[in-house]
Amino acid sequence: MATALLLSPSLLCTPSKGREVIPYCLTSSKSLCRRTLYSKNLISQKNAGKHGSYAATASMVGRKARKREIVIPDPDYRLPIVILGIAGGFAYVDNLLVAAPVGLLGLLLLFQTTRVRFVFDEEALEVKVGDQLQESGENVFVGGKNRWKYSSFVNWELWWPQFPILVYFKETQTNPEGQIHFFPVIFNGKKLYDVMVERAGPSKTSGPK
């Protein structure tokens, strides 16, 4: 650009009668011209550095803005309460053979509702326990840590939309051929569904109406 400006007619000395036309930068002030060009180039490099810094900062801010927040659905006691109610119904009609196991299941789910949490972080779903969100250890059924990346999810479903009882998902992190997991919905079902859609993509066959 500097070369183009030096060759433009506006920067040539205006001719007058009896004098030859001499380009500005071919006069005795060549060193001054070179210093001027050097200063302009230096300023341009500094500005480019500033713009590069601004671009890098903007990029970092953009990445932070896109960062997903940690979501922990609230506990929901409806399922264990309903199961305990069913157990009470069987006990009322003296069907203790059925009332006992159903009642134990209800008590187990009630206990688990107070302590088990689904934690949806930046890249994975993890099962944690307690108010301090401690690690739940290895999965007692299939082994491995109770933490699965969203990118490994093949499919998931929520049964049933109006009153969710079970959440199912299949992932390839534990087993490359696909590992199935079932969990009782002892969390806010609507919140669970929304965050699953956001992090793992829409369910293929189910969803709240």
pLDDT at 146 over 60: yes
Of 143 and 190, the structure prediction assigns the larger pLDDT to 190
pLDDT tens for each residue of 10-60: 333 333 444 444 443 444 444 444 444 444 444 444 444 444 544 444 444
At residue 206, the pLDDT reads 59
At residue 1, the pLDDT reads 40
Q: Which residue type sits at 192?
A: L
Rounded-to-integer distance, Cα 147 and Cα 128, Å:
9
Residue 172's Cβ-count burial label (10 Å; 0-12, 13-18, 19+) is middle
pLDDT tens for each residue of 102-127: 999 999 999 999 999 999 999 999 99
At residue 13, the pLDDT reads 38
Of 64 and 73, the structure prediction assigns the larger pLDDT to 73
pLDDT band at 73 (very low <50, low <70, confident <90, very high): very high
At residue 136, the pLDDT reads 85
Q: Is 143 left (phi over 0), alpha (psi -120 to 50) or beta?
A: left
For the segment 187-205, the average pLDDT, to the nearest whole number, is 90
Rounded-to-integer distance, Cα 193 and Cα 170, Å:
15
Residue ranges covered by each domain of the chain = 78-200
Rounded-to-integer distance, Cα 2 and Cα 52, Å:
22
The distance from CA 87 to its chain's CA centroid, rounded to whole angstroms, is: 41
Q: What is the mean pLDDT of the chain?
A: 76
- Decide the pairing of beta strands 153-159 and 166-171: antiparallel
At residue 203, the pLDDT reads 84
Question: Regarding the domain delimited by 78-200, which CATH topology (the fold level of the hierarchy) does it fall under?
Answer: PH-domain like (2.30.29)
pLDDT at 152 over 60: yes
At residue 67, the pLDDT reads 79
pLDDT at 155 over 60: yes
At residue 18, the pLDDT reads 43
CA proximity to 203, closest of 140, 143, 159? 159
